[in-house]
Structure 1
């Protein structure tokens, strides 16, 4: 398929600028809404007039990246080229890391963050990382993917007795929390992220108090729940800025118009760490470069703090046994990301075979299963983040009557409870209604947010862990075992090799005529004996290896490399399957106030790109741009229609809106939602829009 023309690319950029210019219109133009017979609903009017704080299309992270503007068509024609484009955007992360390393103020801030960690841990206090959605999974990765595994490895060393004596209970001194508790790792709990209240309550839930250090992480810099955490953290620590940190990925000047962002940026009791990176490879998908940036920077700081804590206790050999061969240099460590990015990007040709394989399985109605142990957290994060980004069904519950999820994640244990322990390295934590229900009922003024929060609270308790089985168990094999044409991928991290259950799992997939893949990210190549065992278990297994031989005590490099690899792989799959148009997530589900704003902006931008094109002007004459209020009115109409007519759920709201608006304007008469659905049943939105190039 053809790539977007330069003119089309320019129009899409200009359409975004037009969208911004029209975003504050309080009333819709009558042209499109009148043609479609749509009267703006009270919800839409209220959203445009009073919810400007959730209309976030001006943020840098919400803009379109020029490197991937034509991703959907490029990867459709050449998978390697598409993956290379995705990896190229990670160079923005390297630029940010270099910029921080070269900026004395920001570098000193990270140095102070390390010192703050050290002081708190020496004094018996705790570190608390908090985020929402992608940054919530980042927070849990810092705890369960980096911190706890490091201390478990340390506990196997002869030096552990000295460590435990000097730093008793050190392994339990870090907590990473996602808005909504551990259940939100699986899928978002709507209504929570729009509340500063829940951020305060979850901090209280974990008993965070004076002396503890709080890191509130939000890629946008505007997430209400995270801001609530930061403000409460400053409050409990007497406004000591060394105890509360706010980490974000947008420039201050684009955040200051938002009252909640302005409040935290202007708070002297909070230290701000600005890691602005730029547009994401998929517009607004901050699971990509934004979280890579924050995870790497905070991981580097954590690694630095651990070294400083242990160096006075251990000799050089004992430090070397833990992976520390030299004193960490924060600036050098940040600059090292550029090399890491280059090495990961070099995998595009070999990665493409796996991407094509998994995309082909989904296209044929088949499924994928991932098996991981040490890599379980980064694998689980990537898989679960695919659902909201590309509008996929979340992981199936144990009691599901049918399989809806395209993918599942298992770990090599038979016990579902042990599987959760393998993921979290601690007990599952849910939200207790005894702490949350009364504040939600009494302190949330907005009725929409109050209803959403109370509904989600019912899905966030401790019992939720028993509804999801992540084990390689008999029940899972019976419910969702491999079938011919499926894909099974075993992912190894560090010096890990598949254990007996892992090899049995490969044999089971091979016996079912499912394709098998082994991916290993490590400091060394897969041993010959292990490669032979894999080949015996499942002949013809594809093996993808990524070797990163440098010092890596927390396995931070390996976790980040695997994250970037998986992000490109899963995004590439979805772009090949039509879940992305250009580099926009037109399948976005407008399930909260922020996502309603994103959906409005996306449909407005795509419509205006067509209306502003020479091809449209020649064929149909000039037409005024679609205003933000018009776009929002049409969006709310389809949301309401979908509630009453489930058949419309076959296509995403944004795509239905784009086609209905453009086709009505093209023909000069209103077409209905059913007509738009029928057109999308005949061809993808990408192909439909290509006709206007």
Structure 2
């Protein structure tokens, strides 16, 4: 009865989350056989993902005027004594926190370094382990914004890949009432489609007190995986607006500079790393990612693998008995967890100590994810190999067992170094997962339906695969009901899309 009630509750509001028409939820025509390429032709798989990124960055160049205007708004805010806030959920939350970190590290002058605040649904603890359900509640967005001290002189950059995330919309609408400065809403879908599909999005798009910056760059390389192209272009746009706040006219040239850097870089070296990491997992091993200067970017990619591919999340050392994640992070120059998190964030962690969620979002929980030097000891029993991503004289040094490569980036701006590493790691992890069978074609058959948006995505994928298998159309409501029943019995390493497909086919 509880399962049926939960399904009914979702179906009652499903029209608010049926997002299949959005461009960010469409399959990319270049990657329809991505899983096959990952298994049988890695060089071509890498080249295909690079081409998808090239097309996205090329489309972003057409948004240069809007990014210039955003940079001018950031500059005006700083000049008037205000602070800049960035918020998001999941991948956009991590990029918001990353940009705060990079602002402290050097993309802003020292006198402004502490005047950027990034936050995400669930607080800092959600940076390393996805917190289910937070993004579905606009009130949480407003509550976190207010608790961080957002005021009448401040500016909010509300960042949502799809343009429909309730948490981000809640923060954005609240900012429009609190501050004299209009918040900016950054999103990656056409206005007409978005307004038709989601009433909450239409409300924002028609709000005269909110600036809109549409960064639509097409479908994602992996269907619906907005951790890839959408979050890349949003991080580049917001990062350039911060970096060039004093000279917005520099934005178009900076966009072209990054596009040129990304495309002139040879990505072919990734094939050996992808094969090495996937082979290690296939043999029952684990990987410990060690880094010094690039912790925030490495953490984002490794964390996002869990919800995207239904992998065990990073285990918390204070909660024994959890399954080990395939990979883990280590900052080898930090002696303990508190020091590691302060180093990674360039500040003391900000966690949610709300009574209703302290056990999953509080500081004590965050520190249980010990990414310090002690992670070496913690992971020693996991048959772990080490993937080192370290600062070097020439740029970034990458080493995994006998495989090594140098990225000559020493002369590049800090933002560009992190963004290029993000592109490379997204390609790397996506193809590692393809070799492990974690998607079919370019459909995320192992997606973890942990919120309403992802439940809808899973239902859509099941219906698409059912049509391919039978030539018939599966009813949306019936598919959702079967998914809820299957979820109750899902094993720790089973794909809910595939298991629901089998159950639907037999019903």
Question: Does the pair score TM above 0.5?
Answer: yes
Q: Give the superposition deviation at 1:188.
A: 1.6
* Structure 2 counterparts to residues 614-625 of structure 1, below 5 A: 624-625=472-473
Query: Residue 203 of structure 2: which of 263, 266, 275 is its match?
Result: 263
* Structure 2 counterparts to residues 287-686 of structure 1, below 5 A: 287-305=227-245, 307-308=246-247, 329-344=250-265, 346-348=266-268, 350-399=269-318, 400-401=320-321, 403-412=323-332, 413-433=334-354, 454=356, 456-473=357-374, 476-481=375-380, 486-493=384-391, 495=393, 518-519=397-398, 541-548=402-409, 551-552=412-413, 555-612=414-471, 624-642=472-490, 648-662=491-505, 664=506
Q: In the alignment, does 2:78 pair up with 1:121?
A: yes
Q: In the alignment, does 2:93 pair up with 1:93?
A: no
Distance 2:122 2:459 in 1: 26
Normalising by the residue count of structure 2, what TM-score does the alignment of the two structures yield?
0.94
Offset from partner CA, 1:213-261 (integer Å, 9 cap, x none): 10000001000000011101110124x43xx100001111111021110
SS at match of 2:184: strand
Q: Give the superposition deviation at 1:329.
A: 2.0
What 5-or-longer segments of structure 1 have no aligned partner? Answer: 1-37, 102-106, 156-166, 309-326, 438-453, 499-517, 521-537, 613-623, 643-647, 665-669, 671-693
Which is worse superposed, 54-63 or 115-124?
A: 115-124
Distance 2:313 2:493 in 1: 17
Q: In the alignment, does 2:184 pair up with 1:245?
A: yes
CA root-mean-square deviation: 2.4
- Determine if contact 1:373/1:422 at 8 Å carries over to the other structure: no
Q: In the alignment, does 2:152 pair up with 1:210?
A: yes
In structure 2, relative to structure 1, the CA distance for the partners of 1:122 and 1:419 (3 Å cut) is: same
Distance 1:398 1:171 in 2: 32
SS at match of 2:209: coil
Q: Give the superposition deviation at 1:148.
A: 0.6
Q: Give the superposition deviation at 1:491.
A: 0.7
SS at match of 1:41: helix
Query: Residue 221 of structure 1: which of 145, 163, 166 is its match?
Result: 163
Equivalent residues, number? 504
Match of 2:142 in 1: 200
- Determine if contact 2:398/2:405 at 8 Å carries over to the other structure: yes
Q: Give the superposition deviation at 1:401.
A: 3.4
Match of 1:75 in 2: 38
SS at match of 2:406: strand
Distance 1:46 1:428 in 2: 35
Distance 2:169 2:107 in 1: 30
- Determine if contact 2:331/2:371 at 8 Å carries over to the other structure: yes
Q: In the alignment, does 2:103 pair up with 1:147?
A: yes
**If you compute each CA radius of gyration, which structure gives the higher value, 1 or 2?**
1
What 5-or-longer segments of structure 2 have no aligned partner? Answer: none
SS at match of 1:193: helix
SS at match of 2:135: coil
Q: Give the superposition deviation at 1:556.
A: 1.3
In structure 2, relative to structure 1, the CA distance for the partners of 1:44 and 1:86 (3 Å cut) is: same
Distance 1:224 1:288 in 2: 21
In structure 2, relative to structure 1, the CA distance for the partners of 1:42 and 1:414 (3 Å cut) is: closer
- Determine if contact 1:97/1:337 at 8 Å carries over to the other structure: no
